[in-house]
Homo-oligomer: A and B are copies of this chain.
Amino acid sequence: MLKINLPYIFAICLWISFISCQGNIKKESPSKVKNTAFAIVIHGGAGTIKKENMSDAQETVYRDKLQEALDVGFDILNQGGSAEKAVQKTINILEDSPLFNAGKGAVFNSAGQQEMDASIMDGNTLNAGAVAGVKHIKNPINAAILVKDSTRHVLLSGKGAEDFAKLHGLKMEDTTYFYTEKRFQSLLKAQGKEQALLEKNIKNIELIDNHQYGTVGCVAMDKNGNIVAGTSTGGMTNKKYGRIGDSPIIGAGTYANNQTCGVSATGTGEFFMRTLAAHQVSNLMQFKNLGLKEALAQVIHTDIDTLGGTGGLIALDKYGNVAWDFNTEGMYRGYRNANGKNIIEIYKIKHP
Protein backbone atom coordinates (compact mmCIF):
# COMPACT_ATOMS: atom_id res chain seq x y z
CA MET A 1 0.00 0.00 0.00
CA LEU A 2 1.12 3.53 -0.80
CA LYS A 3 0.08 6.90 0.48
CA ILE A 4 -0.37 9.28 -2.40
CA ASN A 5 -2.46 12.42 -3.03
CA LEU A 6 -5.16 12.65 -5.69
CA PRO A 7 -3.73 15.54 -7.80
CA TYR A 8 -0.54 13.51 -8.17
CA ILE A 9 -2.50 10.51 -9.53
CA PHE A 10 -4.23 12.69 -12.09
CA ALA A 11 -0.96 14.27 -13.15
CA ILE A 12 0.47 10.80 -13.86
CA CYS A 13 -2.68 9.79 -15.71
CA LEU A 14 -2.62 12.90 -17.89
CA TRP A 15 1.04 12.41 -18.68
CA ILE A 16 0.54 8.76 -19.73
CA SER A 17 -2.51 9.80 -21.75
CA PHE A 18 -0.46 12.49 -23.51
CA ILE A 19 2.46 10.16 -24.24
CA SER A 20 0.26 7.36 -25.55
CA CYS A 21 -1.48 9.66 -28.01
CA GLN A 22 1.71 10.96 -29.62
CA GLY A 23 1.85 8.05 -32.04
CA ASN A 24 -1.28 9.25 -33.78
CA ILE A 25 0.01 12.75 -34.44
CA LYS A 26 2.29 13.02 -37.44
CA LYS A 27 4.95 15.65 -36.86
CA GLU A 28 6.22 18.15 -39.42
CA SER A 29 9.71 17.19 -40.50
CA PRO A 30 12.48 19.74 -39.81
CA SER A 31 12.89 20.42 -43.54
CA LYS A 32 9.31 21.73 -43.69
CA VAL A 33 10.09 25.18 -42.34
CA LYS A 34 8.15 27.85 -44.21
CA ASN A 35 10.43 30.42 -45.76
CA THR A 36 10.35 33.06 -48.44
CA ALA A 37 12.52 30.89 -50.65
CA PHE A 38 11.78 30.53 -54.32
CA ALA A 39 12.73 27.64 -56.52
CA ILE A 40 12.35 26.22 -60.00
CA VAL A 41 12.58 22.64 -61.22
CA ILE A 42 12.42 21.33 -64.79
CA HIS A 43 12.37 18.12 -66.76
CA GLY A 44 13.03 17.37 -70.42
CA GLY A 45 11.56 13.88 -70.45
CA ALA A 46 12.36 10.47 -68.96
CA GLY A 47 13.25 7.25 -70.75
CA THR A 48 16.04 4.88 -71.67
CA ILE A 49 18.69 7.57 -71.33
CA LYS A 50 22.01 5.86 -70.58
CA LYS A 51 25.47 7.32 -70.15
CA GLU A 52 26.95 4.70 -72.49
CA ASN A 53 24.68 5.80 -75.34
CA MET A 54 25.57 9.48 -75.06
CA SER A 55 28.79 11.17 -76.15
CA ASP A 56 30.28 13.86 -73.92
CA ALA A 57 29.47 16.41 -76.62
CA GLN A 58 25.82 15.32 -76.80
CA GLU A 59 25.54 15.43 -73.03
CA THR A 60 26.95 18.94 -72.98
CA VAL A 61 24.37 20.10 -75.52
CA TYR A 62 21.53 18.79 -73.32
CA ARG A 63 23.04 20.14 -70.10
CA ASP A 64 23.57 23.58 -71.63
CA LYS A 65 20.01 23.81 -72.89
CA LEU A 66 18.56 22.66 -69.55
CA GLN A 67 20.76 25.22 -67.76
CA GLU A 68 19.68 27.97 -70.14
CA ALA A 69 16.01 27.17 -69.51
CA LEU A 70 16.52 26.97 -65.76
CA ASP A 71 18.39 30.27 -65.67
CA VAL A 72 15.67 32.12 -67.55
CA GLY A 73 13.06 31.04 -65.01
CA PHE A 74 15.36 31.54 -62.05
CA ASP A 75 16.16 35.11 -63.06
CA ILE A 76 12.44 35.92 -63.34
CA LEU A 77 11.83 34.57 -59.83
CA ASN A 78 14.93 36.26 -58.44
CA GLN A 79 13.73 39.62 -59.75
CA GLY A 80 10.38 39.11 -58.05
CA GLY A 81 8.53 37.87 -61.12
CA SER A 82 5.64 35.44 -60.97
CA ALA A 83 5.92 31.65 -60.95
CA GLU A 84 3.68 31.60 -64.03
CA LYS A 85 6.02 33.84 -66.00
CA ALA A 86 8.99 31.71 -64.90
CA VAL A 87 7.26 28.48 -65.96
CA GLN A 88 6.15 29.95 -69.28
CA LYS A 89 9.52 31.40 -70.30
CA THR A 90 11.42 28.31 -69.14
CA ILE A 91 9.16 25.98 -71.09
CA ASN A 92 9.40 28.30 -74.13
CA ILE A 93 13.17 27.68 -74.23
CA LEU A 94 12.60 23.92 -74.18
CA GLU A 95 9.77 24.15 -76.74
CA ASP A 96 11.97 26.21 -79.07
CA SER A 97 14.80 23.67 -78.84
CA PRO A 98 14.72 20.70 -81.22
CA LEU A 99 16.30 18.56 -78.47
CA PHE A 100 13.00 17.91 -76.71
CA ASN A 101 9.65 16.47 -77.72
CA ALA A 102 7.69 19.73 -77.41
CA GLY A 103 7.18 22.59 -79.85
CA LYS A 104 10.01 22.45 -82.42
CA GLY A 105 11.19 18.85 -82.41
CA ALA A 106 7.85 17.33 -81.43
CA VAL A 107 7.44 13.71 -82.46
CA PHE A 108 5.31 12.64 -85.43
CA ASN A 109 1.98 10.86 -85.23
CA SER A 110 1.14 7.94 -87.52
CA ALA A 111 -0.10 10.35 -90.21
CA GLY A 112 3.29 12.11 -90.23
CA GLN A 113 1.91 15.14 -88.40
CA GLN A 114 3.08 16.80 -85.22
CA GLU A 115 0.24 17.17 -82.72
CA MET A 116 1.16 18.94 -79.53
CA ASP A 117 -0.42 19.19 -76.07
CA ALA A 118 0.27 21.50 -73.12
CA SER A 119 -1.22 22.48 -69.79
CA ILE A 120 -0.67 24.89 -66.93
CA MET A 121 -2.11 25.16 -63.43
CA ASP A 122 -1.95 28.00 -60.92
CA GLY A 123 -1.71 26.68 -57.35
CA ASN A 124 -3.11 29.89 -55.88
CA THR A 125 -6.45 30.03 -57.72
CA LEU A 126 -6.55 26.41 -58.95
CA ASN A 127 -7.18 27.91 -62.37
CA ALA A 128 -5.94 25.77 -65.19
CA GLY A 129 -5.68 25.79 -68.97
CA ALA A 130 -4.70 23.24 -71.56
CA VAL A 131 -4.65 22.52 -75.29
CA ALA A 132 -4.58 19.14 -77.02
CA GLY A 133 -3.75 18.14 -80.58
CA VAL A 134 -2.57 21.53 -81.87
CA LYS A 135 -0.36 21.58 -84.98
CA HIS A 136 0.65 25.18 -85.64
CA ILE A 137 0.98 27.00 -82.31
CA LYS A 138 4.67 27.81 -81.87
CA ASN A 139 4.51 27.61 -78.07
CA PRO A 140 1.64 25.42 -76.89
CA ILE A 141 2.25 26.39 -73.24
CA ASN A 142 1.33 29.99 -74.19
CA ALA A 143 -1.97 28.69 -75.58
CA ALA A 144 -2.61 26.81 -72.33
CA ILE A 145 -2.07 30.06 -70.39
CA LEU A 146 -4.45 31.85 -72.77
CA VAL A 147 -7.14 29.22 -72.20
CA LYS A 148 -6.68 29.63 -68.45
CA ASP A 149 -6.85 33.42 -68.53
CA SER A 150 -9.30 34.18 -71.35
CA THR A 151 -11.97 31.50 -71.07
CA ARG A 152 -13.87 29.64 -68.41
CA HIS A 153 -12.75 26.45 -70.09
CA VAL A 154 -9.87 24.23 -69.08
CA LEU A 155 -9.18 22.16 -72.20
CA LEU A 156 -9.53 23.16 -75.87
CA SER A 157 -8.60 20.72 -78.61
CA GLY A 158 -7.64 20.39 -82.25
CA LYS A 159 -8.54 22.99 -84.84
CA GLY A 160 -10.82 24.77 -82.37
CA ALA A 161 -7.90 25.37 -80.03
CA GLU A 162 -5.84 26.69 -82.95
CA ASP A 163 -8.62 29.02 -84.08
CA PHE A 164 -8.84 30.34 -80.53
CA ALA A 165 -5.06 30.88 -80.34
CA LYS A 166 -5.02 32.65 -83.72
CA LEU A 167 -7.92 34.91 -82.68
CA HIS A 168 -5.87 36.02 -79.69
CA GLY A 169 -2.75 36.68 -81.76
CA LEU A 170 -0.57 33.79 -80.62
CA LYS A 171 2.41 33.06 -82.83
CA MET A 172 1.63 30.33 -85.39
CA GLU A 173 4.15 28.39 -87.44
CA ASP A 174 4.02 26.31 -90.58
CA THR A 175 4.46 22.57 -90.07
CA THR A 176 7.98 22.81 -91.53
CA TYR A 177 9.04 24.82 -88.46
CA PHE A 178 8.36 21.88 -86.14
CA TYR A 179 10.08 19.32 -88.40
CA THR A 180 13.30 17.65 -87.32
CA GLU A 181 15.00 14.88 -89.24
CA LYS A 182 15.69 12.95 -86.02
CA ARG A 183 12.00 12.74 -85.08
CA PHE A 184 10.97 11.84 -88.61
CA GLN A 185 13.47 8.97 -88.59
CA SER A 186 11.96 7.85 -85.27
CA LEU A 187 8.56 7.71 -86.96
CA LEU A 188 9.91 5.66 -89.85
CA LYS A 189 11.58 3.29 -87.39
CA ALA A 190 8.37 2.92 -85.35
CA GLN A 191 6.36 2.32 -88.51
CA GLY A 192 8.92 -0.26 -89.64
CA LYS A 193 8.48 -2.13 -86.36
CA GLU A 194 4.72 -1.85 -86.74
CA GLN A 195 4.85 -3.28 -90.26
CA ALA A 196 6.97 -6.18 -89.01
CA LEU A 197 4.38 -6.93 -86.34
CA LEU A 198 1.57 -6.66 -88.85
CA GLU A 199 3.33 -9.13 -91.12
CA LYS A 200 3.57 -11.52 -88.17
CA ASN A 201 -0.17 -10.96 -87.73
CA ILE A 202 0.30 -9.46 -84.28
CA LYS A 203 -2.75 -7.43 -83.38
CA ASN A 204 -3.14 -4.42 -81.13
CA ILE A 205 -0.59 -2.52 -83.17
CA GLU A 206 -1.53 0.64 -81.36
CA LEU A 207 0.31 -0.87 -78.39
CA ILE A 208 3.68 0.01 -79.86
CA ASP A 209 5.61 2.33 -77.62
CA ASN A 210 9.19 3.27 -78.35
CA HIS A 211 9.94 4.36 -74.77
CA GLN A 212 11.26 7.74 -75.81
CA TYR A 213 9.62 10.44 -73.83
CA GLY A 214 10.84 13.96 -74.41
CA THR A 215 7.97 15.85 -72.79
CA VAL A 216 9.10 19.01 -71.01
CA GLY A 217 7.81 20.39 -67.74
CA CYS A 218 8.49 23.04 -65.15
CA VAL A 219 7.32 23.82 -61.62
CA ALA A 220 8.17 27.11 -59.91
CA MET A 221 7.43 28.84 -56.63
CA ASP A 222 7.82 32.62 -56.57
CA LYS A 223 8.67 34.97 -53.70
CA ASN A 224 4.95 35.25 -52.88
CA GLY A 225 4.74 31.52 -52.31
CA ASN A 226 2.65 30.91 -55.43
CA ILE A 227 3.23 27.59 -57.12
CA VAL A 228 2.66 27.05 -60.85
CA ALA A 229 3.19 23.85 -62.83
CA GLY A 230 3.29 23.43 -66.62
CA THR A 231 3.91 20.66 -69.14
CA SER A 232 4.32 20.66 -72.94
CA THR A 233 4.71 17.71 -75.30
CA GLY A 234 4.43 16.25 -78.75
CA GLY A 235 3.06 13.06 -77.24
CA MET A 236 4.00 9.63 -78.52
CA THR A 237 5.77 8.79 -81.80
CA ASN A 238 3.42 7.13 -84.30
CA LYS A 239 0.38 7.82 -82.10
CA LYS A 240 -2.96 7.13 -83.75
CA TYR A 241 -6.62 7.91 -83.57
CA GLY A 242 -6.30 11.32 -81.93
CA ARG A 243 -4.71 9.83 -78.82
CA ILE A 244 -4.45 12.34 -75.98
CA GLY A 245 -1.91 11.59 -73.26
CA ASP A 246 -1.46 12.90 -69.74
CA SER A 247 0.29 16.20 -70.49
CA PRO A 248 -2.87 18.26 -71.19
CA ILE A 249 -4.83 16.55 -68.41
CA ILE A 250 -4.98 18.51 -65.17
CA GLY A 251 -4.28 16.13 -62.28
CA ALA A 252 -2.54 13.57 -64.50
CA GLY A 253 0.45 15.33 -66.13
CA THR A 254 0.21 18.68 -64.34
CA TYR A 255 -1.09 19.85 -60.97
CA ALA A 256 -0.44 22.76 -58.62
CA ASN A 257 -1.94 23.70 -55.27
CA ASN A 258 -0.39 26.29 -52.96
CA GLN A 259 -1.53 24.22 -49.99
CA THR A 260 0.69 21.33 -51.01
CA CYS A 261 2.90 21.29 -54.08
CA GLY A 262 3.28 21.59 -57.85
CA VAL A 263 3.97 18.59 -60.09
CA SER A 264 4.81 17.88 -63.74
CA ALA A 265 5.00 14.38 -65.23
CA THR A 266 6.65 12.59 -68.14
CA GLY A 267 6.38 8.98 -69.24
CA THR A 268 3.79 6.55 -70.58
CA GLY A 269 0.98 9.04 -70.17
CA GLU A 270 -1.82 6.50 -69.80
CA PHE A 271 -0.49 5.27 -66.46
CA PHE A 272 -0.29 8.83 -65.19
CA MET A 273 -3.90 9.33 -66.31
CA ARG A 274 -5.19 6.18 -64.60
CA THR A 275 -3.39 7.01 -61.35
CA LEU A 276 -4.05 10.77 -61.55
CA ALA A 277 -0.35 10.93 -60.73
CA ALA A 278 0.10 14.68 -60.18
CA HIS A 279 -3.11 15.06 -58.13
CA GLN A 280 -2.24 11.93 -56.17
CA VAL A 281 1.08 13.44 -55.03
CA SER A 282 -0.79 16.48 -53.71
CA ASN A 283 -3.45 14.39 -51.97
CA LEU A 284 -0.89 12.10 -50.34
CA MET A 285 0.68 15.22 -48.84
CA GLN A 286 -2.60 16.90 -47.90
CA PHE A 287 -4.60 13.96 -46.60
CA LYS A 288 -1.91 11.47 -45.56
CA ASN A 289 0.67 13.99 -44.39
CA LEU A 290 3.44 12.46 -46.51
CA GLY A 291 6.49 14.56 -47.31
CA LEU A 292 7.13 15.52 -50.94
CA LYS A 293 9.75 12.81 -51.56
CA GLU A 294 7.63 10.10 -49.96
CA ALA A 295 4.59 11.13 -51.98
CA LEU A 296 6.56 11.06 -55.26
CA ALA A 297 8.08 7.70 -54.36
CA GLN A 298 4.67 6.19 -53.61
CA VAL A 299 3.18 7.39 -56.91
CA ILE A 300 6.14 6.28 -59.06
CA HIS A 301 7.31 3.14 -57.28
CA THR A 302 3.96 1.86 -56.01
CA ASP A 303 0.99 3.26 -57.94
CA ILE A 304 2.57 3.48 -61.41
CA ASP A 305 4.98 0.55 -60.98
CA THR A 306 2.09 -1.73 -59.97
CA LEU A 307 0.26 -0.97 -63.20
CA GLY A 308 3.42 -1.46 -65.27
CA GLY A 309 3.98 2.17 -66.20
CA THR A 310 7.26 4.03 -66.59
CA GLY A 311 8.23 7.67 -66.33
CA GLY A 312 9.08 10.38 -63.88
CA LEU A 313 7.81 13.33 -61.87
CA ILE A 314 9.32 16.63 -60.81
CA ALA A 315 7.81 18.60 -57.95
CA LEU A 316 8.30 21.29 -55.36
CA ASP A 317 6.37 21.78 -52.14
CA LYS A 318 5.03 24.94 -50.50
CA TYR A 319 8.23 25.24 -48.46
CA GLY A 320 10.34 25.45 -51.61
CA ASN A 321 11.72 21.91 -51.26
CA VAL A 322 12.40 20.32 -54.64
CA ALA A 323 12.16 16.61 -55.41
CA TRP A 324 12.02 14.27 -58.38
CA ASP A 325 11.63 10.57 -58.92
CA PHE A 326 11.44 8.16 -61.87
CA ASN A 327 11.58 4.47 -62.68
CA THR A 328 13.28 4.84 -66.08
CA GLU A 329 17.02 4.73 -66.83
CA GLY A 330 17.23 8.49 -66.80
CA MET A 331 15.40 11.79 -66.87
CA TYR A 332 16.65 15.15 -68.15
CA ARG A 333 16.19 17.41 -65.13
CA GLY A 334 17.47 20.28 -63.07
CA TYR A 335 16.63 22.77 -60.35
CA ARG A 336 17.77 26.07 -58.89
CA ASN A 337 16.69 27.68 -55.65
CA ALA A 338 17.13 30.79 -53.54
CA ASN A 339 19.79 29.06 -51.44
CA GLY A 340 22.18 28.85 -54.38
CA LYS A 341 21.54 25.23 -55.35
CA ASN A 342 21.94 24.70 -59.09
CA ILE A 343 21.75 21.08 -60.22
CA ILE A 344 21.47 19.50 -63.67
CA GLU A 345 21.21 15.70 -63.93
CA ILE A 346 20.46 13.17 -66.65
CA TYR A 347 21.11 9.63 -65.41
CA LYS A 348 20.42 7.78 -62.16
CA ILE A 349 19.12 9.77 -59.21
CA LYS A 350 21.64 11.64 -57.05
CA HIS A 351 19.76 14.79 -56.03
CA PRO A 352 17.75 16.27 -54.50
A and B contact pairs by CB, cutoff 8 A, 10 listed: A3-B3, A121-B274, A153-B206, A155-B243, A156-B244, A158-B158, A160-B243, A250-B276, A276-B279, A283-B283
Chain A, range 195-230, C-beta contacts under 8 Å to B: 204, 206-207, 209
The residues of B that contact A17 with a CB separation of less than 8 Å are 13, 16-17, 20-21
Q: Is the CB of A241 within 8 A of B207?
A: no
Given A126-B274, A160-B243, A243-B155, A3 and B1 touching (CB < 8 A)? yes
Q: Which residue of B lies closest to A283 (CB)?
A: B283
Q: Is A39 an interface residue (CB 8 A)?
A: no
* Count of A interface residues, CB-CB < 8 Å: 64
Q: Is A127 an interface residue (CB 8 A)?
A: yes
The residues of B that contact A97 with a CB separation of less than 8 Å are none
Q: Is A161 an interface residue (CB 8 A)?
A: yes
Q: Give bound CA distance, A24 to B307, whole Å.
A: 32
Chain A, range 69-112, C-beta contacts under 8 Å to B: none
A206 partner, pick from B151, B243, B274, beta carbons under 8 A:
B151
The residues of B that contact A250 with a CB separation of less than 8 Å are 252, 273-274, 276
Q: Is the CB of B276 within 8 A of A153?
A: no
Q: Is the CB of B126 within 8 A of A307?
A: yes
Q: Give bound CA distance, A163 to B206, whole Å.
A: 13
Where the two chains meet, the residues of A that have a C-beta atom closer than 8 Å to any C-beta of B are: 1-6, 9, 12-14, 16-17, 20-21, 24-25, 121, 126-128, 132-133, 150-161, 163-164, 204, 206-207, 209, 240-245, 249-252, 255, 269-270, 273-276, 279-280, 283-284, 287-288, 307
Q: Give bound CA distance, A310 to B250, whole Å.
A: 19
Closest Cβ of chain B to A302, distance in Å, is 13
Q: Is the CB of B156 within 8 A of A242?
A: yes
Q: How many copies does the complex hold?
A: 2
Q: Give bound CA distance, A250 to B273, whole Å.
A: 7
The residues of B that contact A157 with a CB separation of less than 8 Å are 132-133, 157-158, 242-244
The residues of B that contact A133 with a CB separation of less than 8 Å are 157-158, 242
Closest 3 pairs (CB-CB, A-B): A160-B242, A160-B241, A287-B287
Q: Is the CB of B5 within 8 A of A2?
A: yes
Q: Give bound CA distance, A274 to B154, whole Å.
A: 8
Q: Which residue of B lies closest to A277 (CB)?
A: B251
The residues of B that contact A160 with a CB separation of less than 8 Å are 240-243
The residues of B that contact A20 with a CB separation of less than 8 Å are 17, 20-21
Q: Is the CB of A152 within 8 A of B279?
A: no
The residues of B that contact A270 with a CB separation of less than 8 Å are 152-154
- Most-contacted residue by chain B among A17, A128, A160 (CB, 10 A): A160
A243 partner, pick from B3, B150, B153, B269, beta carbons under 8 A:
B153
Q: Which residue of B lies closest to A151 (CB)?
A: B206
Q: Is the CB of A128 within 8 A of B273?
A: yes
Q: Give bound CA distance, A274 to B279, whole Å.
A: 10
Q: Give bound CA distance, A266 to B345, whole Å.
A: 44
The residues of B that contact A4 with a CB separation of less than 8 Å are 1-2, 4, 9
A16 partner, pick from B16, B155, B249, B255, beta carbons under 8 A:
B16
Q: Is the CB of B244 within 8 A of A204?
A: no
Closest Cβ of chain B to A351, distance in Å, is 28
- Most-contacted residue by chain B among A21, A161, A244, A269 (CB, 10 A): A244
